[in-house]
C-alpha cells in the first residue's frame, strides 16, 4: 500500500467514527428531550389534578359554612329558634356619652 492510501483510509475511518459519535450524541439528546417532555406533561397533569381537588375542597367548605345550611341544621336538628327581638334593650342619653368622651379626651391629653 502506498503511504498516501494509508492516510486516506485513516482519514475516512476518522470521519466515520466522528460521524457515528455525532449521530449517537444526537439520538441521546433527543431521547433525553423526549423524557423531559413526558415528565413535564405528567407534572402538569398532576398539578391540574391538585388544582381541581383544591377547587372542589373550597367549594365543599363554602357549602358547609353556608348560612342557609347552618340555620337549617340549627332549627331542625338542634331545635333552636331564631330570635326575632333583642333580648336586652340598652338606652343611653347623648349627654352621658358626651361627658364620657370629654373625660377620656382630658385623661389622654
The tens digit of pLDDT for each residue in 56-81 reads: 999 999 999 999 999 899 888 888 88
For the whole model, what pTM was predicted?
Answer: 0.52
pLDDT at 98: 93
Boundaries of domain holding 80:
3-108
Specify the 3-state DSSP secondary structure of 25.
Answer: helix
Total domains, the chain: 1
Amino acid at each position: 500500500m502506498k503511504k498516501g492510501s494509508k492516510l486516506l483510509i485513516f482519514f475516512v475511518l476518522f470521519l466515520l467514527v466522528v460521524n457515528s459519535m455525532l449521530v449517537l450524541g444526537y439520538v441521546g439528546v433527543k431521547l433525553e428531550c423526549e423524557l423531559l417532555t413526558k415528565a413535564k406533561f405528567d407534572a402538569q397533569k398532576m398539578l391540574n389534578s391538585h388544582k381541581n381537588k383544591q377547587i372542589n375542597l373550597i367549594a365543599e367548605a363554602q357549602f358547609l359554612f353556608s348560612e342557609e345550611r347552618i340555620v337549617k341544621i340549627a332549627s331542625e336538628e338542634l331545635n333552636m329558634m331564631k330570635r326575632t327581638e333583642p333580648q336586652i334593650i340598652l338606652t343611653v342619653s347623648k349627654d352621658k356619652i358626651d361627658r364620657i368622651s370629654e373625660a377620656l379626651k382630658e385623661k389622654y391629653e
